[in-house]
Chain A
Amino acid sequence: MKKAYGALAALFLTTSLSSHAFADGETIAVFTKNQTNPYFQTVRVGSDVAAKAMKAKTLHYIPTKPDSIPEQLSQIEDVVVKKPSAIVFIPVDYKAMVPGVEKINDAKIPVVNVTDRSAGGKFVAFVGADDYSLGLETGRYLLKTLGGKGNFVIIEGVKGSLTNIDRVRGFNDALKENPGAKLLASQPGNYQRLQALQVMENLMQSNTQIDGVLAANDAMAIGAIEALDGANRKAQVIGVNGTKEAIDAIKAGKLLASGDYNGFMQGCLGMMIAIRSLRNEPVITEIVLKPTVIGKENYQPYDVPLESRTCPSWDEAAKLGTK
């Protein structure tokens, strides 16, 4: 049965995807938001690793202008014509891309939604992480380290973006759980390193004692650390995303912790589900990964190049399912 499917897929590919006529497995199109944020690189590598293990091919679609709605829409139009076997999809905007998803649905291409939950359209499954609990858990880690008290500042990401709203809400709730914790300021760094550095420099002027910094991503957390170093001041800093840079900073004792958004795992699971659904194997329709906080005690598994990490087995993955 599996062989028949493979043959069918091969026949299908020879007729529709001339450049991949030699393919012996399925071709899965992977849509990510941009080439600039390291997070999406982890998703792409995760999906590549999973596809390779399952003998399928990946085709990446990334807008040249980061997070461009029209560009992702036109990439969807291209893909509907090229007809890959399945699609792993991160919408650049969870609302604006719904018409695009509907086009994919109309073309009867199975699609798995990853990272940002689309506001509409039909999906085989959703794989994501929960920004709120990630913000909450990473914030709690910081507060626990500082004994639940002290002066804190939050450096926010892009105002109005889904990830930022939920992460900052999680940070705030972690602070509220501790009556001894005082929030001095919550200021925008727009996920940018330089802006976070300057915000931190400015906040240090008006606050003589800052004990903890909660940054909505790693780049801003590292920017804040540079500002602290420059002023010869010390504070415990946390970030979110678990990027390579963050792992290095944790190893060096500069960054306290980073909440892992698990891009690699999301890429793995999205790809595994897409391929399994094509092969008529059982899938899980919803996986919301539990937050992992990477700190000094557990950074080692993350301290390897992305390409040499491995995806979980399906049995392990099945345990992560929420539905």
Chain B
Amino acid sequence: MTDISKPIASGRMLLSDEMIQVFYRLLAAFLICAALTILTNSFFSLGNILNVLRQASLLFFIASGLTLVVLTGGLDLSIGANVAISACVAGTVIHQTGSPTLGVLTGIGVGGAVGMLNGVMVTALRIPSFIATYGMLWVLHGITYWYMGGETMHGFPAGFRQIGSGYFLGLPIPVYLLLVFLAIGTIFAQRTTWGQEIYAIGANPVAARLSGIPVARRLLLVYTVSGAMAGLASIIFLARLNSAEADIGESLTLPAIAAVLIGGTSLFGGLGTVFGTFVGALILTLVLNGMNLLSVNASWQPLVTGVIVILAVWLDMKTRRRAA
């Protein structure tokens, strides 16, 4: 009996440990901010801080859904390609109907449907998520390239574009969305039974099943949510960039995985938080912002990002071992 009850409790028991992990990351983000404040005279301004938050939001939307998948011990490699196809289909709908609402629903719907297909492959067909979503990536690329035929779609209604570039009471709209989804994600993962079950599945899927958790249904849910979040990101992308093209997703997948890892979510499942992913996205964005402000040579920029990911995961393993 003890074996079975353990994973259920683990989510809550780990909370304090997770808080320490998140605290380390906030500290790291704070140190980067402090360093940039000293090194540049343009970093510490309201304008730039809002700028960083707005840039981090797009990454966060993709990475937050992915966090749930990773918490169950899975991976979703199709998110970037999903953003691309959702953006292209939603863009077409807006162009054809002139209705932004319909476009938003389409983007999230297409993203969610793709995610659900991933979930079906993982649960019903029992294909490892890494492979199922990797295959999905190719399928989505194929469809999107064919659909767009090397063309770019651009020019969307001004009202729709407010979602990406508008302000409300001095704050960019994407930042409000960021706060809303950060709150929803955190409450869902930490405070609901379903959220706790997701942790339990990641910690020990066999024990989770034995303790009566509907594993397949929860997995289907997390893959669908991950897809829908990619769909939401595609809308923000469309509204901010005012255009859609077939290859927009390729440069999004790896940074999203990096944000999840830097945020302290373990690729083996069961450990991590949505809030950690937010801090991870923030750190990645801060580093790029800082390198631009400091005019770091273009060649060094990917290298710096890579080193930070490795360092973050290594420190994570170190501190967790000590905590255990």
Where the two chains meet, the residues of A that have a C-beta atom closer than 8 Å to any C-beta of B are 35-38, 40-41, 44, 64-66, 156, 159-160, 184-188, 190, 192-195, 197-199, 201-203, 205-207, 219, 222-223, 226, 229-230, 243-245, 248
Whether the pair B293, A244 counts as a contact (CB closer than 8 A) is no
Where the two chains meet, the residues of B that have a C-beta atom closer than 8 Å to any C-beta of A are 40, 42-43, 45, 47-48, 51, 54-55, 58, 138, 141-142, 145-146, 149-152, 154-155, 165, 237, 240-243, 245-248, 251-252, 288-289, 292-293, 295, 298-299, 301
Which residues of A are found within 8 Å of B142, using beta-carbon distances? 64
A-B contact count (CB 8 A): 106
Nearest residue (CB) in B for A222 is B243
Nearest residue (CB) in A for B146 is A35
A195 to chain B, nearest CB (A): 7
**When chains A and B are docked, how far (Å) is the Cα of A284 from the Cα of B43?**
56
**When chains A and B are docked, how far (Å) is the Cα of A184 from the Cα of B42?**
14
Whether the pair B299, A202 counts as a contact (CB closer than 8 A) is no
Nearest residue (CB) in A for B48 is A205
Q: Identify A245's interface contact among B51, B240, B243, CB under 8 A.
A: B243
Whether the pair A41, B151 counts as a contact (CB closer than 8 A) is yes
Q: Identify A193's interface contact among B138, B150, B241, B292, CB under 8 A.
A: B241
Most chain B CB atoms below 10 A, which of A192, A202, A229: A202
B214 to chain A, nearest CB (A): 38
**When chains A and B are docked, how far (Å) is the Cα of A233 from the Cα of B171?**
18
A157 to chain B, nearest CB (A): 10
Given contacts A64-B141, A202-B292, A248-B154, contact A187 B40 (CB under 8 A): no
Q: Identify B151's interface contact among A38, A194, A198, CB under 8 A.
A: A38
Whether the pair A203, B145 counts as a contact (CB closer than 8 A) is no
B246 to chain A, nearest CB (A): 5
Nearest residue (CB) in B for A168 is B298
Which residues of A are found within 8 Å of B251, using beta-carbon distances? 190, 192, 194-195
Whether the pair A193, B245 counts as a contact (CB closer than 8 A) is yes
Whether the pair A194, B152 counts as a contact (CB closer than 8 A) is no
Given contacts A64-B142, A222-B243, contact A36 B150 (CB under 8 A): yes
30 CB-based A-B contacts, threshold 8 Å: A35-B246, A38-B150, A41-B150, A64-B145, A65-B141, A185-B292, A187-B298, A188-B298, A190-B251, A194-B240, A194-B252, A195-B251, A198-B292, A199-B292, A201-B54, A202-B48, A202-B293, A203-B292, A203-B293, A205-B42, A205-B289, A206-B293, A219-B152, A219-B245, A226-B241, A226-B242, A244-B151, A245-B152, A245-B243, A248-B155
Whether the pair B150, A205 counts as a contact (CB closer than 8 A) is no
A143 to chain B, nearest CB (A): 21
**When chains A and B are docked, how far (Å) is the Cα of A199 from the Cα of B251?**
14
**When chains A and B are docked, how far (Å) is the Cα of A36 from the Cα of B81?**
13
Query: Per DSSP, are chain A's interface residues mostly helix, strand or loop, or mixed?
Result: helix
**When chains A and B are docked, how far (Å) is the Cα of A128 from the Cα of B55?**
38
Which residues of A are found within 8 Å of B149, using beta-carbon distances? 35, 41
Most chain A CB atoms below 10 A, which of B138, B292, B298: B298
**When chains A and B are docked, how far (Å) is the Cα of A44 from the Cα of B151?**
13
**When chains A and B are docked, how far (Å) is the Cα of A186 from the Cα of B299?**
11
Q: Identify B150's interface contact among A35, A195, A201, CB under 8 A.
A: A35
Which residues of A are found within 8 Å of B48, using beta-carbon distances? 202, 205
What 8 pairs across the A-B complex have the smallest Cβ distances? A41-B150, A202-B292, A188-B298, A36-B247, A206-B42, A35-B145, A205-B48, A185-B295
Whether the pair A36, B145 counts as a contact (CB closer than 8 A) is yes
B324 to chain A, nearest CB (A): 38
Which residues of B are found within 8 Å of A199, using beta-carbon distances? 292
**When chains A and B are docked, how far (Å) is the Cα of A243 from the Cα of B152?**
9
**When chains A and B are docked, how far (Å) is the Cα of A202 from the Cα of B47?**
10
Which residues of B are found within 8 Å of A195, using beta-carbon distances? 251
**When chains A and B are docked, how far (Å) is the Cα of A205 from the Cα of B299?**
22
**When chains A and B are docked, how far (Å) is the Cα of A226 from the Cα of B236?**
14
Q: Identify B47's interface contact among A64, A186, A205, CB under 8 A.
A: A205
**When chains A and B are docked, how far (Å) is the Cα of A159 from the Cα of B243?**
24
**When chains A and B are docked, how far (Å) is the Cα of A187 from the Cα of B292?**
7
Whether the pair A244, B45 counts as a contact (CB closer than 8 A) is no
**When chains A and B are docked, how far (Å) is the Cα of A262 from the Cα of B45?**
44
Whether the pair A64, B155 counts as a contact (CB closer than 8 A) is no
Whether the pair B298, A186 counts as a contact (CB closer than 8 A) is yes
Which residues of B are found within 8 Å of A36, using beta-carbon distances? 145, 150, 245-247
**When chains A and B are docked, how far (Å) is the Cα of A160 from the Cα of B299?**
8
**When chains A and B are docked, how far (Å) is the Cα of A35 from the Cα of B245?**
11
**When chains A and B are docked, how far (Å) is the Cα of A193 from the Cα of B51?**
17
Which residues of B are found within 8 Å of A65, using beta-carbon distances? 141
B95 to chain A, nearest CB (A): 14
Which residues of A are found within 8 Å of B141, using beta-carbon distances? 64-65
A54 to chain B, nearest CB (A): 23
Which residues of B are found within 8 Å of A222, using beta-carbon distances? 154, 242-243
Most chain B CB atoms below 10 A, which of A36, A186, A187, A201: A36
Which residues of B are found within 8 Å of A37, using beta-carbon distances? 150, 247
Whether the pair A223, B150 counts as a contact (CB closer than 8 A) is no
A153 to chain B, nearest CB (A): 10
Whether the pair A202, B138 counts as a contact (CB closer than 8 A) is no
**When chains A and B are docked, how far (Å) is the Cα of A194 from the Cα of B154?**
14
B91 to chain A, nearest CB (A): 13
Nearest residue (CB) in B for A45 is B150
A159 to chain B, nearest CB (A): 5
A144 to chain B, nearest CB (A): 26
Which residues of A are found within 8 Å of B165, using beta-carbon distances? 226, 229-230
**When chains A and B are docked, how far (Å) is the Cα of A198 from the Cα of B242?**
14
Whether the pair B237, A194 counts as a contact (CB closer than 8 A) is yes
